[in-house]
Structure 1
Amino acid sequence: MRAQNEAQPHAYRCRVYYEDTDAGGIVYYVNYLKFMERARTERLRELGFIQSRLAEENLLFVVHSSEARYHAPARLDDELAVSAELIELNRASLRFRQQVRRQPDGALLCEGQFLVACVRADSLKPRSLPDALRSAFAGLALTGPDPTGRVPSPAGD
């Protein structure tokens, strides 16, 4: 099912530290993938789902495939905003479109798409998304943006 997602993508903010850079002070390319992973994790958390608790319920998310395009470098001490926008909701997977932008100028540094599969923690075999998680993502995709910029919680409060 394609997500008709009119909601604002989640934006995770982070800062570039020395450990994220190469000898020239530029973010090492693989670290953009780490930033994007954190943004997806925070998106789940914002919807009320903590990955450690999901693992206790025999559920893990694994990256099935990824695609990234690099546009400009981030540098030491830059503040970044990393989006995680759901663009496809399937029975056992989620597809995200993600961007890394420098703040405050909003320059696009990196963008990509990630297919994240839902698997059983004990066997790593695919499993259906739990109804509550599916409903949270589907509700977010179908309700559109909140005028206050607040993302709805699974309980709708």
Structure 2
Amino acid sequence: MDATPVHAWPIRVYWEDTDAGGIVYYANYLKFFERARTEWLRGLGLGQQALRERTGGMFVVSAAEARYLRPARLDDRLEIRTRIRELGRASLTLQQQAWRTDPAPTLLCEGTVRIGWVEAEAMRPGRLPAEVTAALAPAWASSRQAASDKDLCA
């Protein structure tokens, strides 16, 4: 399990990620953030499908905000960094950033995403299961200690 304050997930920009101008289409950063969150949760032992089968619940995005700073282009190697910003009883807010890794680390996009826990069948809000809270606790504690860092430098 990964209890480090920042989770880093590598990704490469493919043709399908770019727009007619050859830069990453703005909405694709949200896809990159989603993939990184999914892998971060999996690394914490919280595979989303297995979690839904065990608990009857799932995470849903309830809010997302992004700020675009510089463009990414075809074949760029990126790193998506994720850190818990807030942990509540029924949701968590994550800070995420997309960095180009070559030739020098450059922050391209940053944002926050709030994910809430819902009962899958009824789509009603619910409390985070104890196993989810327990898995998130070490990362949350580490993240609070590192919260003074503006950039998510691992």
- The TM tier, using the shorter chain, reads 0.7 to 0.9
Distance 2:67 2:123 in 1: 29
Alignment correspondent of 1:30: 27
TM-score of the superposition, structure 1-length normalised? Answer: 0.84
Aligned to 2:81: 83
2:12 pairs with 1:53: no
Give the direction of change, closer, same or farther, for the CA distance of 1:143–1:20 in structure 2 (3 Å limit).
closer
TM-score normalized by structure 2?
0.86
**Aligned runs of 1:61-80 on 2, under 5 Å?**
61-80=59-78
Consecutive unaligned residues of structure 1, counting only runs of 5 or more, are 1-5, 146-157
Partners of 2:13 and 2:131 in 1: CA distance: 34
* Per-residue deviation, residues 22-50 of structure 1 (Å, max 9, x unmatched): 11210000000000011111110010111
2:133 alignment partner, SS class = helix
CA offset at residue 77 of structure 1? 0.2
Determine what percentage of the aligned residue pairs are the same residue. Answer: 49
Question: Which structure 1 residue ranges, 4+ long, deviate > 6 Å from structure 2?
Answer: none
**Which stretches in structure 2 are left out of the alignment for 5+ residues?**
146-154
Q: Residues of 1 paired with 2:142 and 2:85: CA distance?
A: 14
Cα distance in 2 between the residues matched to 1:7 and 1:55: 25
Q: Which residue of 1 aligns with 2:140?
A: 141
| Structure 1 counterpart SS, 2:125 | coil
Distance 2:139 2:33 in 1: 20
Q: 1:12, 1:133 → 2: CA distance?
A: 21
- Partner letter of residue 73 of structure 1? P
CA deviation map 1:107-150 (0-9, x unaligned): 000000111001011011011111111012112222579xxxxx
